[in-house]
Amino acid sequence: MKLMNKTLLSAAMAVALTSTAAHADLSDDKVKIGVLADMGGVYADVCGKGCLTAVEMAVEDFGGSVLGKKIEIVSADDQNKPDVGSAIVREWIESKEVDVVTGLVASSVTGAVTKVTTDNKKIALIAASASNAFTTKACSPYNAHWTYNVVALANGTVKPIVQSGKKKWFFITADYAFGHALEGIASKVIKAEGGEVVGAVRAPLGTTDFSSYILQAQASGAEVVGLANAGADFVNSLKTAAEFGLTEMMDVAGLLVFTPNAKALDPAIAGGMLTTTGFYWDRDDASREWSARFKARQGVIPAMPHAGAYSATMHYLNAVKAAGTDDSDTVMKLMKSTKPDDFFAKNATLRSDGRMVHDMYLVRITKASERKSEDDIFKIESVIPGDKAFAPVLPACDFK
Partner 1 sequence: MATFLGINLFGLFGQLLVGLINGSFYALLSLGLAIIFGLLKIINFAQGAIYMLGAFGAYLALQYLGIGYWAALIVVPLVVGLLGILMERFLIRPIANEDHLYSLLLTFGVALVLQGLFTHMFGSSGLSYAIPDALKGGTKLPFMYLPNYRAWIIIASLIVCVGTWWMIEKTKLGAYLRAGTENPALMQAFGINVPLMVTLTFGFGVALAGFAGVMAAPVYSVSPDMGSNILIVVFAIVVIGGMGSIGGAIITGLGMGIVEGLTKYFYPEASNTVIFLVMVVVLLIKPAGLFGKEA
Cα gap 287→305, rounded to integer Å: 14
Stretch of 66-74, 150-158, 216-224, 381-389 contacting partner 1, by CB under 8 A: 216-224
Largest CA distance in the chain: 89
Is 156 an interacting residue with respect to partner 1 (CB under 8 A)?
no
Cα gap 364→156, rounded to integer Å: 12
Contact with partner 1 (CB under 8 A) among 175, 282, 327, 381: 175
**How many other C-beta atoms can be found within 10 angstroms of the C-beta atom of residue 95?**
8
Cα gap 351→247, rounded to integer Å: 39
Stretch of 17-25, 45-53, 304-312, 316-324 contacting partner 1, by CB under 8 A: 45-53
Is 204 an interacting residue with respect to partner 1 (CB under 8 A)?
yes
CB of 294 to partner 1, least distance (A): 15
Residue among 211 and 382 whose Cβ is closer to partner 1: 211
Is 207 an interacting residue with respect to partner 1 (CB under 8 A)?
yes
Contact with partner 1 (CB under 8 A) among 20, 65, 120, 218: 218
Is 206 an interacting residue with respect to partner 1 (CB under 8 A)?
yes
Contact with partner 1 (CB under 8 A) among 15, 29, 40, 387: 40
Contact with partner 1 (CB under 8 A) among 73, 138, 198, 264: 264
CB of 15 to partner 1, least distance (A): 55
Is 211 an interacting residue with respect to partner 1 (CB under 8 A)?
yes
Site map (CB under 8 A) of partner 1, residues 333-372, x = contact: ----------------------------------------
Contact with partner 1 (CB under 8 A) among 75, 129, 135, 240: 240
Is 43 an interacting residue with respect to partner 1 (CB under 8 A)?
yes
Residue among 64 and 245 whose Cβ is closer to partner 1: 245
Is 247 an interacting residue with respect to partner 1 (CB under 8 A)?
no
Residues in the interface with partner 1 (CB under 8 A) total 42
Residue among 165 and 204 whose Cβ is closer to partner 1: 204
Site map (CB under 8 A) of partner 1, residues 94-123, x = contact: ------------------------------
Residue among 151 and 217 whose Cβ is closer to partner 1: 217
Contact with partner 1 (CB under 8 A) among 65, 216, 330, 338: 216
Q: Is the dihedral of CA 368, 370, 375, 379 positive or negative?
A: negative
Cα gap 224→105, rounded to integer Å: 28
Cα gap 129→368, rounded to integer Å: 30
Is 376 an interacting residue with respect to partner 1 (CB under 8 A)?
no
Q: Specify whether the CB–CB gap between 229 and 164 falls below 8 A.
A: no
Binding to partner 1 (CB under 8 A): which residues in 291-310? 300
Q: For residue 221, how far is the Cα from the chain centroid?
A: 34
Is 209 an interacting residue with respect to partner 1 (CB under 8 A)?
yes
Cα gap 348→345, rounded to integer Å: 5
CB of 209 to partner 1, least distance (A): 5
Give the total residue count for the chain.
Answer: 400
Residue among 87 and 300 whose Cβ is closer to partner 1: 300
**Interface residues with partner 1 (CB under 8 A)?**
40-46, 48, 175, 201-204, 206-209, 211-213, 215-216, 218-219, 231-232, 235-236, 239-240, 243-245, 258, 260-261, 263-266, 268, 300
